[in-house]
A and B are shown apart, each in its own frame.
Chain A
Amino acid sequence: MREVLRRTFLVMAGVGIIGAALLGGGVPEALAQEEVVVLNAAQLSGTYAETGRDQSRGVKLAIEEFGGTVFGKKIKLIERDVPNPSEAVKKAKEGVEKEGVKFIQVGTSSGVALALMEYAKTQKVVVGVLAGADSITGDACNKYTFRWQVPTYGAIREVVPRIIDMYKANTFFTITPEYVFGQDLLRNTEEVLKEKGKRLLGNVFHPLGETEYSQYITKAMAAKPDCVLFLNFGDDTVNAVKQAVSFGMKKQSKIAIVWGAGLTQYKAMGTKLLEDVIIGGQYDHTVDTPVNKKLIEVYKKKYGELIPYNAASAYQQTLVMLMAIKKAGTTTDTLKVVNAWENMEYNGITGKEVYRPCDHQCIKNYFTLRCKKESEKKFEEDYTELIGASKHFLDCAKTGCKM
C-alpha cells in the first residue's frame, strides 16, 4: 500500500510542481517600470454581469481618449472578474503582487467594492468606486478611495420633490428591497416627504432578486396612494414594474422609479409600460453638456450603440483618475495622486464635477427624467426627457466619514 502511494505521490508531486509552475508562470514578474498598471475589477459573470461589460468598455475608452500613455509610460489595463467580494480581494491581491497595480476601478456591487477598498487601503492603491452604497463615502470611507455616484441622500432630494410637483401627489407608497441600500433610500424618502408635508401611507420590503411581486403590489394598491415609489434597482425594478402594471396599478396611481439603471432597463420595460413614468438617474443621454455629446458620439462610433449608463460612469471616473495622475506628476507616489484628485474641478459628462476632500465623494448632478409616450419618440432609444437636475449632499460632518 505504502509503496504504491509513495511512488504515485512522487509522480503526482512532480506533475503538480511542474504543472503549477507552468500554470503559474514561474517567478513573479518584475514590476515593469515602463508601465502604469490599472486594474478594472468588473462583474463579468454572476447576477450583476450586465454592468461588467459596459464598465469594461467605459474604462477602455477613457484610456484611449486620454492617449494611452502618461509621462511616456504606457497605461496597461488588466481586467478581472469579481463576481463576489472574496474573488475581488483575491484578484486585487494578484494585481498588486503580480502586476504591480496601483490604480483600480471597481464596480458595481457594494459588497465587492467595500471588500476591495479595505484591502487597497493597506496597499496604498488608489481605487475609483462605481457603486451607490452610502457607506462607501460614509463610515467605510478611506483616503485612497473615490466614488462618482451620487448616494441616496442626493438622489432622493432631487427626484422626490420633482415627483411631488409633477404628479401633484400627496400620498405615497414605497416598495423597497430588503438591503442596506434600500433602507437608505427609504430613510431619505421618509425625511423628504415629512419636510414637504406629504404622507407615506406604507412600505413593503422585498428580498433582493425577488421574482414574485404580487403580494407587494396587492398591498400597494390596497392603500390607494397618489404615487407608488419603486426604491429597488436593476432587474428587480423591471420585474416589479411589469407585474405592477399587469395588476392595473397605473389605473389608480402614478409610478416612479428613483434609482434608474439606464437604457438596458428601459428597453426591458418598453415604452408602453413606461409612458409618463418618472425615473431618477445618475446619467442620461439627454444631459446637455459638450463633454457628454462628444462621449456619445465617440462611443457610438466605436461600439455602434448609444452609450449605457455603466459605460458612461466608468469612462468618466477612469478619465478623472488619469487626470489626477497627470496632475500629480507621478505614477508611483499614490498619496500625491490622491491629493491631486481632491478638489480637482473639471467639466464632466453631467456638468461641472469635483471630488470633495472630506469624503472623496464626487459632487455632481442627479437627474430626473420623464418617460416619453410612443408618439413623442424621435428615434428607437429616445425613451426619456430630462426634467430636472440638482446637487444635494450631506454636510461633511454628517456623513460618518473619518479619514
Chain B
Amino acid sequence: MEINLNLVAVQIFNGIVLGMIYVMLAMGLTIVWGMMDIINFSHGFFYTLGAYFAYTFVSVTGNFWLALIVVPVGTALIGMALERTLLRKLYGLNILYQILMTFGIALMGREIIIIIYGPIGKSFFPPRALEGTFFLGSLFFPQYRVFLLLLVALITFGMYLFIEKTKLGSIIRAGTEDKEMVSSLGINVSLVFLLTFGLAMAIAGLSGVLASPMRGINPFMDWNILGICFAVVIIGGMGSFSGAVFGGLIVGVAQSLVGLIWPSASIIIIFIVMSAILLIKPRGLFGVRD
C-alpha cells in the first residue's frame, strides 16, 4: 500500500477533526477531575446520551442547528441532577466509591438507552447544507467535517475565554490547582461543583451531537470513547485546559496516522502511550499537579 503525501495530508485533516471531538470530551473530563477529584466513568455515557437526544430531536423537528443548543442543555440538567442526588453523597470518601458510582451510572444509563431506543444502532444524517464534499485537487474533505472543525475551534476558544476571563472560570482554574484554598476563600463550593459538573456534561453531550452524523450511534459507544478520553487527559495533563486541547489533537492525529499503517493498533497505541506517561511522568505534558 503506497502511502503518498496526499493520503497523509487527508489523514492529518481527519485526525484533527477526530481530535476536536476528543478535545471537547477531554475539557469536560479534566475540569471534573481537576476540580472535583472525580474520575468520571460515566463521561462516555453523557456523550452517548447527547447523541441519542440529538437523534430524537432531529427526528422530531428536523432541525440539527437547534439540537446543538437544546441537547447540551438537556445533558447538563441530567448531569446536575445526578451530581446532586448520587455523587454529592460520596465526596470526601475514598475515590474508589466515585469510580464505582460513575461506573454504575454508566451501566444503568446504557440499559435505559436500550430500553428506550432498542439495541440497534441508529443513524441520522448531517443537515442538508453540509452533506457535500470539498474537493481540493485530488484531496477530498467532507463538508460536515470541515464544519465540525471550525465549530469546535470556536467552542474551544469560547471555553478558553470562559476559563480565563469569567469568575466561575477562574474559580475552576484555581480549584484544579488547589482545592483547599478555594474553599477557604468562602466560595460556595457545592454550587461550583454543581455548575462545573453541569458544564462538563453539556460539553460531553454536545460532542455526542457533533460526532453522531459522522460516526453513527449505538448504546455501546460510551465504552469505546471513554478509554481514549482518559488517555487524552492523562497525556495532556490532568486538570489542564491546554493539556486537554493539545492532548486531544495529538491523540486524534496519532490515531489517524497509525491507522494508515496498522488500523487495528491505532487505539491500543494510545493506551500504550497513556501507560508510559503514567509510569514516567504522571503529570502529563501540561499537568499542574501530581
Contact = CB atoms under 8 A, between A and B. Distances in A.
Interface string B137-168: 00010101100000000000000000000000
B140 A204 contact: no
Given A205-B264, A248-B133, A248-B142, A238 B123 contact: yes
B120 A50 contact: yes
Given A207-B263, A268-B123, A215 B114 contact: no
B187 interface: no
Interface stretch (A157-165, A217-225, A327-335): A217-225
Nearest to A210: B263
A33 interface: no
B122 interface: yes
B289 interface: no
A212 B18 contact: yes
Nearest to B133: A248
Nearest to A242: B123
Contact of A268 (B4, B122, B264): B122
A268 B131 CA distance: 16
A219 to B, nearest CB: 7
A178 B125 CA distance: 27
Given A49-B114, A218-B10, A239-B215, A246 B131 contact: yes
A52 B118 CA distance: 11
B149 to A, nearest CB: 13
A214 B14 contact: yes
A251 B135 CA distance: 11
B96 interface: no
A89 B218 CA distance: 27
Contact of B135 (A204, A206, A248): A248
A300 to B, nearest CB: 20
Contact of A218 (B14, B145, B215, B221): B14
B217 to A, nearest CB: 10
Contact of A247 (B119, B123, B142): B142
Given A211-B221, A248-B133, A206 B263 contact: yes
B224 A204 contact: no
Contacts, number: 102
B120 A214 contact: no
Nearest to B122: A268
A84 to B, nearest CB: 13
A207 B123 CA distance: 20
A245 B221 CA distance: 22
Given A178-B264, A207-B264, A219 B118 contact: no
B227 interface: no
A247 B18 contact: no
Given A214-B14, A239-B215, A270-B125, A219 B264 contact: no
Contacts of B263: 178, 204-207, 210, 215-216
A49 B6 CA distance: 40
B103 interface: no
B4 A49 contact: no
B214 interface: yes
Contacts of B140: 221, 247-248
A264 interface: yes
A214 B256 contact: yes
B60 interface: no
A309 to B, nearest CB: 13
B114 A246 contact: no
Contacts of A210: 263
B7 interface: yes
A69 interface: no
Contacts of B4: 222
A235 interface: yes
A86 interface: no
B209 to A, nearest CB: 15
Interface in B209-262: 214-216, 218, 220-221, 224, 255-256, 259-260
B126 interface: yes
Contacts of B132: 248
B104 interface: no
Interface centre among B18, B119, B132, B255 (most CB of A within 10 A): B119
A390 interface: no
Nearest to A178: B264
Interface in A27-67: 45-47, 49-50, 52
Closest 9 CB pairs of A and B: A49-B119, A248-B133, A215-B259, A50-B120, A214-B14, A246-B142, A235-B121, A211-B215, A239-B216
23 contacts: A204-B263, A206-B263, A207-B264, A209-B224, A211-B215, A211-B221, A211-B224, A212-B14, A212-B255, A215-B256, A216-B263, A218-B11, A219-B260, A222-B6, A242-B123, A242-B216, A243-B142, A246-B131, A246-B133, A246-B145, A248-B140, A264-B120, A268-B122
